[in-house]
Structure 1
Amino acid sequence: MTDTLTVRPAGPGDASDICALLNAVDVIEIGRPETDLGTVEADLNHPGVDLATDSWLAHRGGRLVAYALVWNDSGPGRIDCDHYVLPGDPEAAVRLLELMEARARAMAAGAGQPRLRLQLNVEPTLDLALLTRRGYRTVRHYQVMTRGLTPADAAPAAPAGLTLRHCGADEADRRRAHALVEETFAAHFGHVDRAYDAWLDHLDARALDWSLVWIASLPGEGDAAVLLTRDDRTSMGWISHIGVREDLRGRGLGGFLLRHAFAAYTARGRDTLGLGVDTANETGALALYEAHGMRLHYAVDTWELPMHPQG
């Protein structure tokens, strides 16, 4: 590399350039661009991010070659981050790793056993040797799974007695959906308890179409499960959460909600529906999705760096 590397914070006006960089990385890693501008804008406008201290853009010869962001909305000691770099620029990769690690240490100051978490494609543009030399290790493996939709995906028959309602404009139902997500995901790896307003910020849920969020109820049991989906991605519809109360699992509720999502998104004219799953999920979610025809789109590893206050 002969051009000088320059690094500066990101600003709201950089969203288009960042989106283009992320899509260039997408093409290399998964074969097609799948990052939407709205997703980047939501990250840059997250209320818990100060772009002046928590974001970095690396340019070489006027070209954006790397981007990093850190945020802290997961409780004391855990800092999350994004890091994207075009291949062949280890200087940019390392420089942004150094900056985000230093900022993460400052954000986690005083917390016991602080750690930095980063999610990466299993075959990323970032040289993984740079991570392992810096002390990162993989702690979890995820799959992004997709399924093609067809006119045969009609609304499924509900289990006996089950009723399904969407949240719509009912604030009480929105809060109930939040409570069900918190309850049903409490034991999942990486889950963080969040109050309602913090949860809305974390999911960018204020932009959510609440008619695509459903609550399932059973006679004598009350609200039993939640299905949270969103239709704001260009490439596919997306299932964010399928959660069933622990005492009601094994009754086919998860499968019904999955089939309901297939039918709902078919009716909306979508041809693909996707979701992410922890492959070590003890509820058997991976097997459920595979049994319903969902297949691997790409895989992601969670990397973690234990942080010493002085680096």
Structure 2
Amino acid sequence: MTFTVRPAGPGDAADVCALLNAVDLIEIGRPETDLGTVEADLHHPDVDLATDSWLAFEGGRLVAYAMVWADSGPGRVDGDHYVLPGHPEAALLLLERMEGRAREMAGGPGVLRLQLNVKPTLDLSLLTGRGYRTIRHYQVMTRSLTTAGDPPPSVPAGLTLRHCADDEADRHRAHALIEETFAEHFGHADRPYEAWLDHIDGRRLDWSLVWIASLPGHGDVAVLLTRDDRASMGWFHHIGVRKELRGRGIGGFLLRHGFAVYASRGRDTVGLGVDTRNETGALALYEAHGMRLHYAVDTWELALHSQG
């Protein structure tokens, strides 16, 4: 089979989005990729589309898409790889391009990481045959909402909650709390504020949907960062409680607060992603609050060596 491969460009966002939704439909049963998310990826300041992205076409039809980026610290390169079923040649060709570029970006020993559905359209034998291995398992969890079933929760004694829409200093404080509360989590990379905004597509963030919780004598103790720019559901991006304050019901309160807010906004579903080996017991907390598995994702890793 003959394929045409070229870099992606900002004008390809709609076609890439259509490809990703075709993959979504196969892997999770419905399309869940938003055009804005793809546009943000294609405009990411740490990605040079000319060298870091690839589109594979068969007879003018887009059948595969890949991208790599390196904003998580020395030696680590992350990547996306999407392919329609029945196109192993295109899948392999883009894997080879990704790996070659990742070696250049790592500049020495390092790793390339991909996150893939546990039952992806990509033939996993292509990965195992090239030395990739799974290193982590994640769940995307969802919960249904109703205004009657999700009223505003009672606030724990002494706790106060404020949103970050009106104070730039609070936005920096939310970032600092996320960096602190996620510091021990697998795969977390410390990022200064501006780089963090780029990483989470923070320029489109509605800061009235980001909250900081405080306790007398402890100051700011927790953060809930959510976003309402996905068509399929509201999304809880980060829920973090300072280590010494965990186990006091603050995380559960923040969850219930988020449920109530999104129900009042007319949302019928919210979702989040969780590392199933998260040391804080987050998975059990989410299950206790009615969240259930939507689909699962594995992180695959390839050790990078300068000679391939």
Partner of 2:116: 120
Partner of 1:204: 201
Runs of 4+ in 1 over 3 A off after TM superposition: none
Partner of 1:37: 35
Partner of 2:249: 252
Counterpart mapping for 1:1-311 below 5 A: 1=1, 4-110=2-108, 113-151=109-147, 152-311=149-308
Gap regions ≥5 residues in structure 1: none
Q: What is the one-letter code of the residue matched to 1:165?
A: R
Q: What is the one-letter code of the residue matched to 1:68?
A: A
Query: Per-residue deviation at 1:184?
Result: 0.2
Query: Per-residue deviation at 1:230?
Result: 0.2
Aligned-partner SS, 1:301? strand
Q: What is the one-letter code of the residue matched to 1:138?
A: T
Q: What is the one-letter code of the residue matched to 2:146?
A: T
Query: Per-residue deviation at 1:219?
Result: 0.9
- Give the RMSD, CA atoms, in angstroms: 0.6
Alignment size in residue pairs: 307
Distance in 2 (CA, whole Å) between partners of 1:35 and 1:255 is 28
Distance in 1 (CA, whole Å) between partners of 2:6 and 2:272 is 34
Distance in 2 (CA, whole Å) between partners of 1:208 and 1:150 is 24
The CA deviation string for residues 245-277 of structure 1, in whole angstroms up to 9 with x for no partner, is 000000000000000000000011000000000
Aligned-partner SS, 2:85? coil
The CA deviation string for residues 143-200 of structure 1, in whole angstroms up to 9 with x for no partner, is 0000000122010001101000000131100000000000000000000000001100
Aligned-partner SS, 1:192? coil
TM-score, normalising length: structure 1:
0.98
Q: What is the one-letter code of the residue matched to 2:183?
A: A
Aligned-partner SS, 1:158? coil
Q: What is the one-letter code of the residue matched to 1:211?
A: S
Distance in 1 (CA, whole Å) between partners of 2:235 and 2:43 is 22
Q: What is the one-letter code of the residue matched to 1:154?
A: P
The CA deviation string for residues 63-105 of structure 1, in whole angstroms up to 9 with x for no partner, is 0000000001000000000000000111000000000000000
Distance in 2 (CA, whole Å) between partners of 1:9 and 1:220 is 54
Aligned-partner SS, 2:63? strand
Aligned-partner SS, 1:241? strand
Query: Per-residue deviation at 1:310?
Result: 1.2
Aligned-partner SS, 1:103? helix
Q: What is the one-letter code of the residue matched to 1:67?
A: Y
Distance in 2 (CA, whole Å) between partners of 1:5 and 1:250 is 55
Q: What is the one-letter code of the residue matched to 1:66?
A: A
Q: What is the one-letter code of the residue matched to 2:190?
A: D
Q: What is the one-letter code of the residue matched to 2:239?
A: I
Distance in 2 (CA, whole Å) between partners of 1:304 and 1:169 is 41
Identity in percent: 80
Distance in 1 (CA, whole Å) between partners of 2:132 and 2:41 is 24
Distance in 2 (CA, whole Å) between partners of 1:284 and 1:168 is 30
Gap regions ≥5 residues in structure 2: none
Distance in 1 (CA, whole Å) between partners of 2:73 and 2:246 is 29
